[in-house]
Structure 1
Amino acid sequence: MKQRFSVLMVCTGNICRSPTAEVVLRHKLEHAGLAERVHVASAGTTDYHVGAPADDRSARHAHLRGYDLSRHRARQVHAADFERFDLLLAMDRGHLEELQDACPPQHRHKLRRLMEFAPAGLADEVADPYYGGMKGFETVLDHVEAACDGLVRHIRSDRA
């Protein structure tokens, strides 16, 4: 890789799905020897939770798999993010549409859904676990881990 690559994970309030995806990708990049070459962050499409920590349920389930969300503080997507990041990855179609509406035309090629990097046969969106039961948080982790494996392969091949 010639320069640092950057990825922004995006969900609604930046307290469940996107911070989970952020820490999972960081973990996988460390194990792949790419942590110093890739910057990873997360943000929300709304300002509902700006400054708040990760949802307790997300943090608890992530911790059980070895991920640490304790330092996370929610933030909203900023206009500068469209220029600053190489990939902005939406958790679902609604987030992708919101990003497309806000994104300058010259940066729209950077917008994708995280699950595009997952193996065939998995859901094409990371479902919102916020109003559901605990199983939803496990499903988020399952889907995010699978997609991040594919994303690491993509980054390695595309940026090598």
Structure 2
Amino acid sequence: MYRVLFVCLGNICRSPMAEAVFRNRAEKAGLAGSIEIDSCGTGDWHMGKPPHEGTRRILDGQGISYEGMLARRIRAEDGERFDLLVAMDESNVAAIREALGSDTKAEVVRFLSFVPGARLTDVPDPYYTGDFEETYELISEASDRLLAHLLEAGKIKTAAI
């Protein structure tokens, strides 16, 4: 089982959207049993809260479930439990490294690094921009690219038929 953790600031906008979209893509590809997907934030302001109403609206419109998702903060054990920590922006990368230290086994990457030629390097935070649609479009493309990358790299495998 390959484990992916999406990380943003408060775990109510970007990272739960990424978790839901990526889980949806993995399920549609028949990979639900090959990959574990979760999300968290680097801050604790929204702990225990569901995704932001803007994130829920976008996901509802796409028919993507976010059932059971509640915000949580990154924990030291996440660096050992997960194989890949996917940060929404550079400040999240720095916060992950500060929280987990340098000896974590998990690889830490920015989400848009999977999109060659992307016009942005960071996924903008719709909590501040208000543009949940832009965030969804970026996350959607990056999710497709990340899934393809993991399959090509042999990190996850399709089920034998």
TM-score, normalized by length of structure 2? 0.91
Number of aligned positions between the proteins: 155
In the alignment, structure 1 residue 51 sits paired with structure 2 residue 48? yes
Structure with more helix by fraction = 1
For residue 132 of structure 2, what is the aligned residue in structure 1? 137
CA contact (8 A) 1:12 1:45 kept: yes
CA shift, 1:141, in A, is 0.5
For structure 2, list consecutive stretches of 5 or more residues without a partner in the other structure. none
Post-superposition offset of 1:93: 0.5
Q: Letter of the aligned partner of 1:130 in structure 2?
A: Y
Q: Distance in 2 between matches of 1:55 and 1:147?
A: 21
The answer for unaligned runs of 5 or more in structure 1 is none
Partner SS, residue 131 of structure 1: helix
Equivalent residue, structure 2, for 1:80: 77
The equivalent position to 2:61 in structure 1, one of 41, 61, 64, is: 64
Alignment of 1:4-153 (within 5 A): 4-107=1-104, 110-133=107-130, 136-153=131-148
What is the aligned-residue identity percentage? 37
User: What TM-score do the two structures reach when normalised by structure 1?
Assistant: 0.91
Deviation at 1:117, TM superposition (A): 1.0
Q: Which runs of 4+ in 1 moved over 6 A?
A: none
SS at match of 2:126: coil
CA RMSD, 1 decimal: 1.4
Query: 1:100 is paired with a residue of what secondary structure?
Result: helix
